[in-house]
């Protein structure tokens, strides 16, 4: 996805115009379970239609446009539920969409350039994605259910709960997955000679850049919005 401008998003803006400016917003809509046929809806209208806090959507959308989150003061327990659903959708996207897509690009690249270096790329990516999957599984099996239990959030489908969990531990499980993805891109751009495989290499690199963008926003949502919000709400629960 390519972005030519950066607009600070506001609830009154037309969603279609935001997509034309930054096609990555399409991925945002998918993670929110919104229909991509947005008609002439503004951000606020579309969010009300899908029962999502417009301020939360705006905060996420601005992350996709390169801006820092504006704050969590007005967010509630309902927003925590929305954030977790959003993040779980990103997990599905990584595992069932982006990972198979990149694997297929690597397979085609190997067909064009049958070399040990390309096999090394495949091995490197598989090991990298094993780490990503481990992190995603931790969120699904430990972090999310524990947060839901502490804040008495219902309707998070079939999640087990963990006792004695602190949201502060969540941050320690964030690995430097963006750095390893950069290493992989460097391999393809700087160290592996081409052998008539420019088209496949370009497709693979584009997919890697897209994955990197989405993973970086995934981490920003967790560290800049979800974790501070849960800490704030936990304090409110303790105060009664």
Given a cut of 70, the residues of the chain with pLDDT beneath it are 1-5, 154-166, 168, 170-177, 240
What pLDDT does 19 receive? 95
Going by C-beta distance under 8 Å and a sequence separation of 6 or more, which residues neighbour residue 214? 27, 90, 93, 94, 98
From the list 133, 122, 63, 141, the residue with the least C-alpha distance to 93 is 133
What pLDDT shows up at residue 142?
A: 87
Q: What is the pTM of this model?
A: 0.89
List, for residues 142-162, the tens digit of each pLDDT value.
889 988 888 888 655 444 555
Q: What is the pLDDT of residue 44?
A: 98
Tens of pLDDT, residues 50-86: 999 999 999 999 999 999 887 888 999 999 999 999 9
Domain boundaries, the chain: 15-64, 77-239
Tokens in use for 1?
């996805």
What is the dihedral angle through the alpha carbons of 154, 159, 163, 164, rounded to the nearest 10 degrees? -80
């Amino acid at each position: 996805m390519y972005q030519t401008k950066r607009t600070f998003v506001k609830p009154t803006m037309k969603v279609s115009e935001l997509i034309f400016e930054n096609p990555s917003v399409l991925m945002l809509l998918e993670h929110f379970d919104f229909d991509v046929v947005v008609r002439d809806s503004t951000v606020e209208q579309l969010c009300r239609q899908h029962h999502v806090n417009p301020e939360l959507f705006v905060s996420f959308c601005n992350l996709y446009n390169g801006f820092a989150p504006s704050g969590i003061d007005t967010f509630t327990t309902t927003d925590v539920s929305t954030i977790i659903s959003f993040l779980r959708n990103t997990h599905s996207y990584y595992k069932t969409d982006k990972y198979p897509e990149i694997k297929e690009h690597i397979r085609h690249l190997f067909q064009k350039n049958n070399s040990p270096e390309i096999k090394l790329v495949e091995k490197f990516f598989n090991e990298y994605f094993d780490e990503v999957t481990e992190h995603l599984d931790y969120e699904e099996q430990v972090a999310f259910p524990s947060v839901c239990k502490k804040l008495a959030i219902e309707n998070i489908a079939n999640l087990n709960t963990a006792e004695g969990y602190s949201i502060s531990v969540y941050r320690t499980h964030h690995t430097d997955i963006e750095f390893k993805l950069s290493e992989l891109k460097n391999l393809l751009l700087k160290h592996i000679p081409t052998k008539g495989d420019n088209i496949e290499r370009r497709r693979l690199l584009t997919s890697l850049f897209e994955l990197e963008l989405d993973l970086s926003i995934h981490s920003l949502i967790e560290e800049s919005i979800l974790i501070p919000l849960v800490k704030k709400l936990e304090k409110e629960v303790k105060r009664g």
